[in-house]
A and B are shown apart, each in its own frame.
Chain A
Amino acid sequence: MPRSMAAPVWELGMEPVVYQVTGRHQELVDTVTLQMTPVDGPAMSFLPGQFTMMGLPGIGEIPVSISGSPNDGGPLTQTIRAVGKVSAAIAGLGVGDRLLMRGPFGEPWPVEEAVGRHLLIIAGGLGLAPVRPIVYWALANRGRLAGVELLYGARGPDYIPYGAQLLGWLASDRMTGSLIVDRHSDEWAGPVGPVTELIGRHATVDPAKTVAMVCGPEIMMRFVIQALEARGFADSDIWVSMERNMKCALGWCGHCQLGPVFVCRDGPVFRVDHVRNLMTQSEL
Protein backbone atom coordinates (compact mmCIF):
# COMPACT_ATOMS: atom_id res chain seq x y z
CA MET A 1 0.00 0.00 0.00
CA PRO A 2 1.43 3.44 -0.87
CA ARG A 3 2.64 5.27 2.18
CA SER A 4 0.22 8.15 1.53
CA MET A 5 -2.80 5.82 1.72
CA ALA A 6 -1.81 4.19 4.98
CA ALA A 7 -3.00 6.77 7.47
CA PRO A 8 -5.86 9.21 7.88
CA VAL A 9 -5.57 12.63 6.34
CA TRP A 10 -4.78 14.50 9.57
CA GLU A 11 -1.83 12.25 10.20
CA LEU A 12 -0.43 12.83 6.74
CA GLY A 13 0.30 16.50 6.99
CA MET A 14 -2.75 17.92 5.24
CA GLU A 15 -3.45 20.09 8.27
CA PRO A 16 -1.12 23.08 8.35
CA VAL A 17 0.67 24.22 11.47
CA VAL A 18 1.25 27.89 12.22
CA TYR A 19 4.93 28.84 12.26
CA GLN A 20 6.54 32.13 13.16
CA VAL A 21 9.64 33.59 11.55
CA THR A 22 12.38 33.92 14.16
CA GLY A 23 15.28 34.71 11.88
CA ARG A 24 15.84 36.05 8.39
CA HIS A 25 19.00 36.25 6.31
CA GLN A 26 19.22 37.74 2.83
CA GLU A 27 21.32 35.12 1.02
CA LEU A 28 21.26 36.59 -2.48
CA VAL A 29 19.47 39.45 -4.21
CA ASP A 30 16.35 37.31 -4.70
CA THR A 31 16.88 34.64 -2.04
CA VAL A 32 16.38 34.57 1.71
CA THR A 33 16.87 31.98 4.42
CA LEU A 34 14.17 31.94 7.07
CA GLN A 35 14.33 30.34 10.48
CA MET A 36 10.93 29.41 11.85
CA THR A 37 9.45 27.79 14.94
CA PRO A 38 5.91 26.55 15.52
CA VAL A 39 3.71 28.91 17.50
CA ASP A 40 2.49 25.91 19.51
CA GLY A 41 4.05 22.51 19.96
CA PRO A 42 7.44 21.00 19.23
CA ALA A 43 9.67 21.82 16.31
CA MET A 44 9.41 19.62 13.26
CA SER A 45 11.92 16.79 12.94
CA PHE A 46 13.01 15.88 9.44
CA LEU A 47 15.55 13.95 7.43
CA PRO A 48 18.03 15.44 4.94
CA GLY A 49 16.35 15.97 1.56
CA GLN A 50 12.80 16.38 2.81
CA PHE A 51 10.64 19.40 2.07
CA THR A 52 7.65 21.21 3.47
CA MET A 53 4.71 23.02 1.95
CA MET A 54 4.97 26.67 3.02
CA GLY A 55 1.80 28.69 2.70
CA LEU A 56 0.21 32.05 3.22
CA PRO A 57 -3.60 32.27 3.48
CA GLY A 58 -5.15 33.85 0.41
CA ILE A 59 -1.88 33.76 -1.52
CA GLY A 60 -0.91 30.13 -1.94
CA GLU A 61 1.38 27.32 -0.99
CA ILE A 62 4.73 26.16 -2.36
CA PRO A 63 7.10 23.25 -1.71
CA VAL A 64 10.46 24.29 -0.29
CA SER A 65 13.39 22.07 0.66
CA ILE A 66 14.59 22.12 4.23
CA SER A 67 18.09 23.55 4.27
CA GLY A 68 18.98 23.47 7.96
CA SER A 69 20.60 20.92 10.21
CA PRO A 70 18.69 17.73 10.95
CA ASN A 71 20.85 17.22 14.04
CA ASP A 72 20.13 20.07 16.42
CA GLY A 73 16.34 20.17 16.80
CA GLY A 74 16.50 23.93 16.41
CA PRO A 75 14.32 26.21 14.30
CA LEU A 76 13.23 24.99 10.89
CA THR A 77 15.53 26.55 8.27
CA GLN A 78 14.47 27.01 4.67
CA THR A 79 15.87 28.99 1.78
CA ILE A 80 13.39 30.64 -0.57
CA ARG A 81 14.04 32.26 -3.92
CA ALA A 82 11.46 34.83 -4.96
CA VAL A 83 10.41 33.70 -8.44
CA GLY A 84 6.64 34.19 -8.32
CA LYS A 85 3.73 35.49 -6.29
CA VAL A 86 3.83 32.96 -3.44
CA SER A 87 7.59 32.63 -3.13
CA ALA A 88 8.00 36.43 -3.24
CA ALA A 89 5.44 36.84 -0.46
CA ILE A 90 7.14 34.22 1.72
CA ALA A 91 10.59 35.61 0.95
CA GLY A 92 9.26 38.98 2.02
CA LEU A 93 8.30 37.81 5.51
CA GLY A 94 10.11 39.36 8.42
CA VAL A 95 10.89 38.28 11.95
CA GLY A 96 7.63 37.87 13.86
CA ASP A 97 5.51 37.20 10.77
CA ARG A 98 3.54 33.98 10.61
CA LEU A 99 2.94 31.41 7.93
CA LEU A 100 1.45 27.95 7.50
CA MET A 101 3.54 24.84 7.25
CA ARG A 102 2.78 21.24 6.23
CA GLY A 103 5.25 18.43 6.32
CA PRO A 104 7.92 17.23 6.27
CA PHE A 105 7.36 15.31 3.05
CA GLY A 106 9.28 13.16 0.65
CA GLU A 107 11.88 10.46 0.57
CA PRO A 108 15.15 11.69 2.09
CA TRP A 109 18.72 11.37 0.89
CA PRO A 110 19.87 7.81 1.74
CA VAL A 111 22.71 9.05 3.92
CA GLU A 112 23.18 5.66 5.58
CA GLU A 113 24.26 4.33 2.16
CA ALA A 114 27.41 6.40 2.62
CA VAL A 115 28.44 4.81 5.90
CA GLY A 116 31.87 3.23 5.44
CA ARG A 117 32.21 4.85 2.02
CA HIS A 118 33.09 8.22 0.52
CA LEU A 119 30.23 10.67 0.24
CA LEU A 120 30.46 12.88 -2.84
CA ILE A 121 27.99 15.77 -2.83
CA ILE A 122 27.57 17.75 -6.04
CA ALA A 123 25.34 20.80 -6.16
CA GLY A 124 24.62 23.62 -8.55
CA GLY A 125 22.92 26.95 -7.99
CA LEU A 126 20.26 26.89 -5.30
CA GLY A 127 20.57 23.09 -5.34
CA LEU A 128 22.96 23.69 -2.48
CA ALA A 129 19.94 24.19 -0.19
CA PRO A 130 18.58 20.60 -0.33
CA VAL A 131 22.06 19.08 0.10
CA ARG A 132 23.04 21.36 2.99
CA PRO A 133 21.38 19.02 5.52
CA ILE A 134 23.52 16.18 4.13
CA VAL A 135 26.65 18.18 4.93
CA TYR A 136 25.42 18.83 8.47
CA TRP A 137 24.67 15.12 8.84
CA ALA A 138 28.02 14.10 7.32
CA LEU A 139 30.02 16.37 9.61
CA ALA A 140 28.12 15.03 12.63
CA ASN A 141 28.81 11.47 11.45
CA ARG A 142 32.27 12.08 10.02
CA GLY A 143 33.82 9.11 11.81
CA ARG A 144 31.44 6.72 10.08
CA LEU A 145 32.37 7.94 6.59
CA ALA A 146 35.57 7.31 4.64
CA GLY A 147 35.45 10.85 3.32
CA VAL A 148 33.21 13.78 2.48
CA GLU A 149 33.64 15.87 -0.65
CA LEU A 150 31.50 18.79 -1.83
CA LEU A 151 31.68 20.11 -5.38
CA TYR A 152 29.63 23.20 -6.04
CA GLY A 153 28.91 25.21 -9.19
CA ALA A 154 27.30 28.62 -9.23
CA ARG A 155 26.19 31.07 -11.88
CA GLY A 156 28.71 33.62 -10.63
CA PRO A 157 30.39 34.85 -7.47
CA ASP A 158 27.31 36.90 -6.56
CA TYR A 159 25.09 33.82 -6.66
CA ILE A 160 26.62 31.65 -3.94
CA PRO A 161 24.31 31.08 -0.97
CA TYR A 162 25.68 30.32 2.50
CA GLY A 163 28.95 31.83 1.25
CA ALA A 164 30.88 32.15 4.52
CA GLN A 165 29.72 28.76 5.75
CA LEU A 166 30.57 27.12 2.43
CA LEU A 167 34.10 28.55 2.44
CA GLY A 168 34.50 27.44 6.05
CA TRP A 169 33.47 23.91 5.18
CA LEU A 170 35.81 23.73 2.21
CA ALA A 171 38.71 25.08 4.28
CA SER A 172 38.14 22.62 7.12
CA ASP A 173 40.09 19.41 7.49
CA ARG A 174 36.88 17.43 7.98
CA MET A 175 35.89 17.53 4.33
CA THR A 176 37.29 18.38 0.92
CA GLY A 177 35.78 20.13 -2.03
CA SER A 178 35.87 22.96 -4.46
CA LEU A 179 33.61 25.53 -6.03
CA ILE A 180 33.49 26.93 -9.53
CA VAL A 181 31.50 29.62 -11.30
CA ASP A 182 30.11 29.71 -14.81
CA ARG A 183 30.70 33.43 -15.17
CA HIS A 184 33.65 35.39 -13.96
CA SER A 185 33.47 38.77 -12.25
CA ASP A 186 36.23 41.10 -11.18
CA GLU A 187 36.36 40.06 -7.55
CA TRP A 188 36.53 36.32 -8.34
CA ALA A 189 39.94 34.64 -8.32
CA GLY A 190 38.74 31.03 -8.33
CA PRO A 191 38.00 28.51 -11.09
CA VAL A 192 35.70 29.40 -14.00
CA GLY A 193 33.79 26.72 -15.89
CA PRO A 194 30.93 24.25 -15.46
CA VAL A 195 30.61 22.13 -12.32
CA THR A 196 31.39 18.98 -14.31
CA GLU A 197 34.99 20.21 -14.59
CA LEU A 198 35.39 19.65 -10.88
CA ILE A 199 34.42 16.00 -11.21
CA GLY A 200 37.40 15.27 -13.42
CA ARG A 201 39.86 17.35 -11.43
CA HIS A 202 38.80 17.04 -7.82
CA ALA A 203 36.73 13.92 -7.35
CA THR A 204 39.72 11.68 -6.74
CA VAL A 205 37.76 9.04 -4.91
CA ASP A 206 37.33 5.43 -6.00
CA PRO A 207 33.87 5.27 -7.64
CA ALA A 208 33.34 1.73 -6.36
CA LYS A 209 33.64 3.00 -2.79
CA THR A 210 31.65 6.19 -3.20
CA VAL A 211 28.05 7.34 -3.08
CA ALA A 212 27.24 10.48 -5.06
CA MET A 213 24.33 12.77 -4.19
CA VAL A 214 23.51 15.41 -6.75
CA CYS A 215 21.15 18.38 -6.68
CA GLY A 216 20.62 21.28 -9.02
CA PRO A 217 18.73 22.15 -12.17
CA GLU A 218 17.75 18.98 -13.99
CA ILE A 219 19.89 19.69 -17.04
CA MET A 220 22.89 20.22 -14.81
CA MET A 221 22.19 16.90 -13.09
CA ARG A 222 22.05 15.12 -16.45
CA PHE A 223 25.52 16.40 -17.36
CA VAL A 224 26.82 15.55 -13.90
CA ILE A 225 25.48 11.99 -14.19
CA GLN A 226 27.28 11.61 -17.54
CA ALA A 227 30.50 12.97 -16.04
CA LEU A 228 30.23 10.61 -13.06
CA GLU A 229 29.64 7.66 -15.36
CA ALA A 230 32.70 8.66 -17.36
CA ARG A 231 34.62 8.48 -14.05
CA GLY A 232 33.34 4.94 -13.52
CA PHE A 233 30.33 5.50 -11.25
CA ALA A 234 27.43 3.06 -11.48
CA ASP A 235 23.91 4.51 -11.78
CA SER A 236 23.00 2.70 -8.59
CA ASP A 237 25.55 4.75 -6.64
CA ILE A 238 24.20 8.12 -7.83
CA TRP A 239 21.22 9.83 -6.21
CA VAL A 240 19.46 12.96 -7.44
CA SER A 241 16.80 15.29 -6.10
CA MET A 242 14.16 16.02 -8.72
CA GLU A 243 11.77 18.91 -8.90
CA ARG A 244 8.32 19.01 -10.41
CA ASN A 245 5.13 20.97 -9.78
CA MET A 246 3.88 19.90 -6.38
CA LYS A 247 0.53 20.77 -4.90
CA CYS A 248 -0.74 18.24 -2.36
CA ALA A 249 2.68 16.76 -1.46
CA LEU A 250 0.95 13.43 -0.82
CA GLY A 251 0.88 11.84 -4.24
CA TRP A 252 -2.86 12.37 -4.66
CA CYS A 253 -3.28 15.32 -6.98
CA GLY A 254 -0.92 14.15 -9.73
CA HIS A 255 0.62 17.55 -10.43
CA CYS A 256 4.13 16.24 -9.86
CA GLN A 257 3.65 12.94 -11.66
CA LEU A 258 6.76 11.84 -13.52
CA GLY A 259 5.77 8.79 -15.52
CA PRO A 260 5.01 6.07 -12.97
CA VAL A 261 6.21 8.04 -9.94
CA PHE A 262 5.04 11.02 -7.96
CA VAL A 263 7.97 13.26 -7.16
CA CYS A 264 6.43 14.55 -3.93
CA ARG A 265 5.74 11.08 -2.53
CA ASP A 266 8.25 8.73 -4.17
CA GLY A 267 10.94 11.44 -4.29
CA PRO A 268 12.16 14.07 -4.46
CA VAL A 269 15.28 11.96 -3.96
CA PHE A 270 15.67 9.15 -6.46
CA ARG A 271 18.38 6.68 -7.35
CA VAL A 272 19.47 7.44 -10.90
CA ASP A 273 18.79 3.99 -12.32
CA HIS A 274 15.16 4.38 -11.21
CA VAL A 275 14.55 7.67 -13.04
CA ARG A 276 17.19 7.83 -15.71
CA ASN A 277 14.81 7.17 -18.61
CA LEU A 278 12.28 9.60 -17.19
CA MET A 279 14.81 12.41 -17.01
CA THR A 280 15.31 12.53 -20.77
CA GLN A 281 11.71 12.05 -21.92
CA SER A 282 10.04 15.15 -23.26
CA GLU A 283 6.63 16.16 -21.92
CA LEU A 284 7.30 14.51 -18.56
Chain B
Amino acid sequence: MVQPKTMGALLAEHPIFQGFDPEATEFLGGCASNHHFAFDEFLFRADQPAERFYLIRTGDVALELDMTGRKRLVIHTIHPGQIVGASWLLPPYRWRFDARALGDVRAFGIDATCLRNKCDANPDFGYAVFKRFLPLVAERLLATRMQLLDLYAPPVEVGAKLQA
Protein backbone atom coordinates (compact mmCIF):
# COMPACT_ATOMS: atom_id res chain seq x y z
CA MET B 1 0.00 0.00 0.00
CA VAL B 2 1.38 3.40 -0.95
CA GLN B 3 1.87 5.62 2.03
CA PRO B 4 0.62 9.19 1.61
CA LYS B 5 3.38 11.74 1.62
CA THR B 6 3.93 13.68 4.78
CA MET B 7 3.34 17.42 4.71
CA GLY B 8 7.09 17.89 5.11
CA ALA B 9 7.72 15.78 1.99
CA LEU B 10 5.16 17.81 0.05
CA LEU B 11 6.75 21.07 1.20
CA ALA B 12 10.13 19.80 0.06
CA GLU B 13 8.77 19.62 -3.49
CA HIS B 14 7.74 23.27 -3.48
CA PRO B 15 10.38 25.51 -5.17
CA ILE B 16 10.71 27.65 -2.04
CA PHE B 17 11.92 24.71 0.02
CA GLN B 18 13.81 22.71 -2.56
CA GLY B 19 17.18 21.81 -1.11
CA PHE B 20 16.05 22.71 2.42
CA ASP B 21 17.29 20.33 5.11
CA PRO B 22 14.85 17.35 5.10
CA GLU B 23 14.64 17.24 8.88
CA ALA B 24 13.89 20.96 9.00
CA THR B 25 11.25 20.54 6.30
CA GLU B 26 9.53 17.83 8.34
CA PHE B 27 9.73 20.11 11.39
CA LEU B 28 8.15 22.90 9.30
CA GLY B 29 5.49 20.49 8.04
CA GLY B 30 3.98 20.48 11.52
CA CYS B 31 2.84 24.06 10.87
CA ALA B 32 1.52 23.44 7.35
CA SER B 33 -1.87 22.57 5.90
CA ASN B 34 -3.50 22.31 2.48
CA HIS B 35 -5.78 25.06 1.22
CA HIS B 36 -7.98 25.71 -1.76
CA PHE B 37 -9.38 29.05 -2.86
CA ALA B 38 -11.98 29.63 -5.54
CA PHE B 39 -11.83 32.50 -8.02
CA ASP B 40 -12.21 35.90 -6.29
CA GLU B 41 -11.85 34.40 -2.82
CA PHE B 42 -9.51 36.23 -0.46
CA LEU B 43 -6.49 34.45 0.98
CA PHE B 44 -6.27 37.29 3.47
CA ARG B 45 -7.42 40.88 3.89
CA ALA B 46 -5.46 44.04 4.68
CA ASP B 47 -5.13 44.93 8.38
CA GLN B 48 -6.18 41.48 9.52
CA PRO B 49 -3.75 39.52 11.73
CA ALA B 50 -1.08 37.79 9.64
CA GLU B 51 -1.85 34.34 10.99
CA ARG B 52 -1.10 32.23 7.93
CA PHE B 53 0.94 32.74 4.77
CA TYR B 54 0.82 30.63 1.64
CA LEU B 55 3.09 28.80 -0.75
CA ILE B 56 1.27 28.75 -4.08
CA ARG B 57 1.06 25.35 -5.77
CA THR B 58 -1.33 26.17 -8.61
CA GLY B 59 -3.16 29.29 -9.72
CA ASP B 60 -2.43 32.99 -9.51
CA VAL B 61 -2.99 35.48 -6.71
CA ALA B 62 -3.25 39.27 -6.81
CA LEU B 63 -1.83 41.45 -4.08
CA GLU B 64 -4.11 44.43 -4.16
CA LEU B 65 -5.60 47.42 -2.41
CA ASP B 66 -9.23 48.32 -2.03
CA MET B 67 -9.29 52.03 -2.79
CA THR B 68 -12.41 53.91 -1.81
CA GLY B 69 -14.14 55.37 -4.84
CA ARG B 70 -11.99 53.40 -7.25
CA LYS B 71 -11.81 49.87 -8.49
CA ARG B 72 -9.35 47.52 -6.84
CA LEU B 73 -5.72 48.24 -7.61
CA VAL B 74 -3.48 45.21 -8.26
CA ILE B 75 0.07 45.96 -7.10
CA HIS B 76 1.65 42.63 -7.89
CA THR B 77 0.62 39.18 -9.02
CA ILE B 78 1.99 36.02 -7.46
CA HIS B 79 2.24 32.72 -9.26
CA PRO B 80 2.90 29.00 -8.67
CA GLY B 81 6.15 28.41 -6.84
CA GLN B 82 6.00 31.74 -5.06
CA ILE B 83 4.97 32.91 -1.58
CA VAL B 84 2.03 35.09 -0.63
CA GLY B 85 2.60 37.13 2.49
CA ALA B 86 5.62 38.47 4.34
CA SER B 87 3.98 40.51 7.11
CA TRP B 88 3.92 37.46 9.38
CA LEU B 89 7.70 37.83 9.78
CA LEU B 90 7.73 41.04 11.81
CA PRO B 91 5.49 42.86 14.28
CA PRO B 92 2.74 43.98 14.24
CA TYR B 93 1.96 40.81 12.24
CA ARG B 94 -0.83 42.36 10.21
CA TRP B 95 -1.34 42.14 6.45
CA ARG B 96 -0.67 45.34 4.50
CA PHE B 97 -2.62 44.29 1.41
CA ASP B 98 -5.42 42.03 0.28
CA ALA B 99 -4.53 38.77 -1.44
CA ARG B 100 -7.22 37.54 -3.83
CA ALA B 101 -7.36 34.41 -5.97
CA LEU B 102 -7.39 35.17 -9.69
CA GLY B 103 -8.61 31.67 -10.44
CA ASP B 104 -8.65 28.31 -8.76
CA VAL B 105 -5.74 28.38 -6.29
CA ARG B 106 -4.18 25.53 -4.37
CA ALA B 107 -1.63 26.39 -1.71
CA PHE B 108 0.19 25.21 1.35
CA GLY B 109 -0.72 27.41 4.30
CA ILE B 110 1.86 27.87 7.04
CA ASP B 111 0.62 28.80 10.49
CA ALA B 112 2.72 31.88 11.25
CA THR B 113 2.50 31.68 15.05
CA CYS B 114 3.48 28.01 14.97
CA LEU B 115 6.45 28.78 12.72
CA ARG B 116 7.60 31.77 14.76
CA ASN B 117 7.42 29.67 17.94
CA LYS B 118 9.51 26.95 16.32
CA CYS B 119 12.04 29.53 15.11
CA ASP B 120 12.27 30.96 18.65
CA ALA B 121 12.65 27.53 20.22
CA ASN B 122 15.22 26.33 17.69
CA PRO B 123 17.47 29.19 16.54
CA ASP B 124 19.31 26.99 14.00
CA PHE B 125 16.00 26.17 12.37
CA GLY B 126 14.92 29.81 12.62
CA TYR B 127 18.12 31.00 10.97
CA ALA B 128 17.65 28.51 8.13
CA VAL B 129 14.05 29.66 7.65
CA PHE B 130 15.02 33.33 7.63
CA LYS B 131 17.86 32.68 5.19
CA ARG B 132 15.25 31.11 2.92
CA PHE B 133 12.83 34.01 3.26
CA LEU B 134 15.14 37.03 3.20
CA PRO B 135 16.05 36.66 -0.52
CA LEU B 136 12.35 36.50 -1.32
CA VAL B 137 11.71 39.72 0.56
CA ALA B 138 14.71 41.37 -1.14
CA GLU B 139 13.43 40.20 -4.52
CA ARG B 140 10.02 41.68 -3.80
CA LEU B 141 11.65 44.97 -2.72
CA LEU B 142 13.63 45.11 -5.98
CA ALA B 143 10.49 44.42 -7.97
CA THR B 144 8.69 47.25 -6.20
CA ARG B 145 11.57 49.64 -6.83
CA MET B 146 11.58 48.71 -10.51
CA GLN B 147 7.87 49.42 -10.72
CA LEU B 148 8.39 52.77 -8.99
CA LEU B 149 11.08 53.70 -11.53
CA ASP B 150 8.42 53.82 -14.25
CA LEU B 151 11.04 52.49 -16.66
CA TYR B 152 8.92 52.76 -19.78
CA ALA B 153 7.76 56.34 -19.36
CA PRO B 154 8.20 58.46 -22.51
CA PRO B 155 11.77 59.82 -22.61
CA VAL B 156 12.53 63.48 -22.32
CA GLU B 157 13.92 64.59 -25.65
CA VAL B 158 17.65 65.21 -25.39
CA GLY B 159 18.42 65.40 -29.06
CA ALA B 160 18.08 62.61 -31.52
CA LYS B 161 17.94 59.37 -29.59
CA LEU B 162 17.40 56.06 -31.22
CA GLN B 163 13.75 55.28 -30.77
CA ALA B 164 13.70 52.05 -28.83
Contact = CB atoms under 8 A, between A and B. Distances in A.
User: Is the A/B pair a real complex?
Assistant: yes
Contacts of A188: 74
Interface string A240-259: 01111111000000010000
Interface stretch (A15-23, A126-134, A231-239): A126-134
A155 B153 CA distance: 7
Contact of B77 (A30, A62, A85, A191): A191
Interface in A154-200: 154-155, 159, 182-184, 186, 188-194, 196-197
B146 A246 contact: no
A192 B152 contact: no
B149 A219 contact: yes
Nearest to A53: B160
A192 B161 contact: no
Nearest to A256: B162
Contacts of B158: 245
A192 B74 contact: yes
Interface in B114-145: 142-143
Given A193-B77, A223-B146, A245-B158, A186 B71 contact: yes
A61 B152 CA distance: 23
12 contacts: A65-B163, A126-B152, A126-B163, A155-B151, A189-B102, A192-B75, A196-B143, A196-B146, A197-B143, A215-B164, A216-B164, A268-B164
Interface stretch (A39-47, A76-84, A92-100, A108-116): A76-84
Interface in A31-71: 51, 60-65
A75 interface: no
Interface residues of B, number: 33
B69 interface: no
A153 B62 CA distance: 17
Interface residues of A, number: 56
Interface string B101-122: 0100000000000000000000
Nearest to A125: B152
Contacts of A215: 164
The 3 closest A-B pairs by CB, nearest first: A125-B152, A84-B157, A184-B74
A244 B101 CA distance: 43
B152 A217 contact: yes
A244 B161 contact: yes
Contacts of B82: 201
Given A84-B157, A192-B76, A196-B143, A63 B162 contact: yes
Contacts of A191: 60, 77, 79
Contacts of B9: none
Interface in A214-236: 215-217, 219-220, 223
Contacts of A220: 146, 151-152
Given A130-B164, A182-B152, 10 more contacts: A81-B154, A85-B157, A124-B151, A155-B153, A159-B152, A182-B151, A188-B74, A194-B143, A196-B142, A247-B160
Nearest to A220: B151
A190 B76 CA distance: 10
A124 to B, nearest CB: 6
A49 to B, nearest CB: 10
A263 interface: yes
Contact of B164 (A60, A127, A186, A201): A127
B152 A194 contact: no
A86 interface: yes
Interface centre among A65, A126, A192, A242 (most CB of B within 10 A): A192
B33 interface: no
Given A182-B147, A196-B146, A268 B162 contact: yes
Interface string B58-79: 0010101000000101111101
Contacts of A210: none
B160 A62 contact: yes
Given A155-B152, A194-B147, A197-B143, A65 B75 contact: no
Contacts of A153: 151-152
A87 B62 CA distance: 38
